């Protein structure tokens, strides 16, 4: 069997077409695994598995301190240690602010009285659906929770390297994005030919260069009179543009309904299969 690769799909700003590319690419290929790591706003399921909420679910937990008031001597060591101000002294009791707690476990370590234990709190969920040619996993951060990284870490334990792996990453350049793309063989950056698209593309590329991640660019909503915005920059920097998806009301309408465009538009299956093969060759060379 041919060696398969893992791809992460990324964009500097949201709404550039990351989900569109991830979903359509996954559907055009065979023996593929799609992981939606955009855990704050996972949307791939709308196109792949609209009923995912009724499928197999696994919790991602984090630990929150609990103070045993009988043992606590109000020494304040935990309150002083916490970098996130998640603990406070109220009269002679320690209060825990779960929302700002980072679950580092420091308070438990510094407590001289053994008064702190930890309880589990749900941070997010993994959801799973197995389709005929597609193994689909989704990470989901619970609302009012802040920390996306542990959900992405857990999601990535599901990676099956015998398959073509596609990871739909969170947009941007911060930790969750880096977590999602780390250890993938190649990254596709989706952008659009506008001043916003160009600006955010530059930020992403700065980050990718810093972590030495191989990548190429896809222009979404491509239009003859404005693609130069991206093309000029990429040419100057020696960056490859591997695909253009045209600006099209039809594609936007299909997206709005949650319909993958490979199902409705001629020729895209082949185009996306070819894209995967090109990237695979490029990635295996590296």
Partner 1 sequence: MKEITVISGKGGTGKTTFTANLASLLDNLVVGDCDVDAPNLHLLLNPENKSEAVFKGMKLAVKNDDLCIDCGLCYENCRFNAITAADYQIKNLKCEGCAVCAYVCPTDAIKMEETETGTLYEAESRFGEMVHAKLIPGADTSGKLVSEVKNRASELAKEKNKDWILIDGSPGIGCPVIASLTGSDLAVLVTEPTMSGFADLKRVMEVVNHFKIPAGIVINKYDLNENISAKIEAYAAEEKIELLTKIPYSRVIVDSLKKGELFVDNDAELRTKMLTVKEKLTKILEK
Site map 94..133 versus partner 1, x via CB under 8 A: --------xxxxx--xx-----------------------
Site map 12..41 versus partner 1, x via CB under 8 A: xxxxx--x--------------------xx
Q: Length of the chain in residues, anyone?
A: 286
- Does residue 147 bind partner 1 (CB under 8 A)? yes
Beta strands in the chain (DSSP E): 6-10, 32-36, 56-67, 87-90, 93-96, 116-130, 134-141, 164-168, 186-191, 215-222, 241-246
* Span near partner 1 by CB under 8 A; candidates 65-73, 89-97, 143-151, 233-241: 143-151
Q: In this structure, what token pair is assigned to residue 279?
A: 């990237």
Q: Which of residues 265-284 bind partner 1 (CB under 8 A)?
A: none
- Is the CB of 155 or the CB of 207 nearer to partner 1? 207
Rounded to the nearest whole angstrom, what is the least distance from the CB of residue 12 to partner 1 in the complex?
A: 5
**Largest Cα–Cα distance of the chain, in whole Å?**
72
Number of residues forming the site for partner 1 (CB under 8 A): 59
- Is the CB of 88 or the CB of 252 nearer to partner 1? 252
Alpha-carbon distance 275 to 5, whole Å? 13
Cβ-Cβ contacts under 8 Å for 236 (sequence gap 6 or more)? none
Q: In this structure, what token pair is assigned to residue 74?
A: 């109000």
- Does residue 157 bind partner 1 (CB under 8 A)? no
- Is the CB of 215 or the CB of 276 nearer to partner 1? 215
* Span near partner 1 by CB under 8 A; candidates 27-35, 127-135, 232-240, 251-259: 251-259
Selected from 58, 88, 196, 237, the binder of partner 1 by CB under 8 A is 196
Q: Give exposure, 40-67, as e/b (b: 16+ Cβ within 10 Å).
A: bebbbbbbbbeebeeeeeeebebbbbeb
* Span near partner 1 by CB under 8 A; candidates 131-139, 159-167, 170-178, 268-276: 170-178
- Does residue 81 bind partner 1 (CB under 8 A)? yes
φ, ψ for residue 159, nearest 5 deg: -60, 135
- Does residue 263 bind partner 1 (CB under 8 A)? no
**Closest alpha carbon to 109 in 79, 78, 132, 84:** 78
Rounded to the nearest whole angstrom, what is the least distance from the CB of residue 199 to partner 1 in the complex?
A: 6
Selected from 31, 173, 248, 273, the binder of partner 1 by CB under 8 A is 173
Q: Which of residues 209-238 bind partner 1 (CB under 8 A)?
A: 210-211, 226, 229
Q: In this structure, what token pair is assigned to residue 286?
A: 């590296």
Element (H, E) at 63: strand 56-67
Instruction: Identify the residue whose tokens are 């989704």.
Output: 138
Instruction: Identify the residue whose tokens are 């936007």.
Output: 252
Q: Are 247 and 218 in contact (CB under 8 A)?
A: no
> Residues interacting with partner 1, by CB under 8 A?
12-16, 19, 40-41, 43, 46, 63, 81, 83-84, 102-106, 109-110, 141, 143-149, 153, 170-176, 178, 193-196, 199-200, 203-204, 206-207, 210-211, 226, 229, 249, 252-253, 255-258
């Amino acid at each position: 069997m041919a060696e398969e690769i893992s791809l992460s799909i990324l964009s500097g700003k949201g709404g550039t077409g990351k989900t569109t590319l991830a979903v359509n690419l996954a559907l055009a290929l065979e023996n593929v695994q799609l992981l939606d790591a955009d855990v704050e706003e996972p949307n791939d399921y709308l196109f792949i598995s609209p009923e995912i909420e009724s499928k197999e679910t696994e919790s991602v937990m984090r630990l929150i301190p609990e103070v045993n008031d009988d043992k606590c001597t109000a020494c304040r060591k935990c309150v002083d240690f916490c970098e996130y101000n998640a603990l406070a002294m109220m009269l002679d009791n320690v209060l825990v602010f779960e929302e700002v707690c980072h679950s580092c476990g420091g308070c438990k370590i510094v407590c001289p009285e053994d008064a702190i234990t930890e309880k589990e709190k749900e941070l997010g969920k993994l959801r799973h659906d197995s389709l005929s040619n597609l193994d689909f996993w989704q990470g989901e951060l619970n609302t009012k929770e802040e920390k996306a990284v542990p959900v992405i870490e857990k999601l990535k334990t599901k990676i099956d390297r015998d398959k073509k792996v596609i990871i739909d990453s969170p947009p941007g350049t911060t930790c969750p994005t880096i977590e999602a793309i780390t250890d993938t063989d190649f990254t596709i950056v989706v952008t659009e030919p506008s001043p916003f698209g160009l600006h955010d593309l530059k930020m992403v590329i700065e980050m990718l260069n810093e972590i030495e991640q191989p990548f190429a660019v896809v222009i979404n909503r491509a239009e003859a009179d404005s693609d130069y915005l991206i093309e000029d920059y990429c040419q100057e920097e020696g960056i490859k543009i591997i695909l253009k998806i045209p600006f099209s009301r039809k594609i936007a309408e299909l997206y709005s309904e949650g319909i993958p465009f490979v199902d409705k538009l001629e020729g895209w299956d082949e185009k996306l299969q070819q894209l995967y093969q090109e990237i695979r060759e490029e990635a295996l060379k590296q």
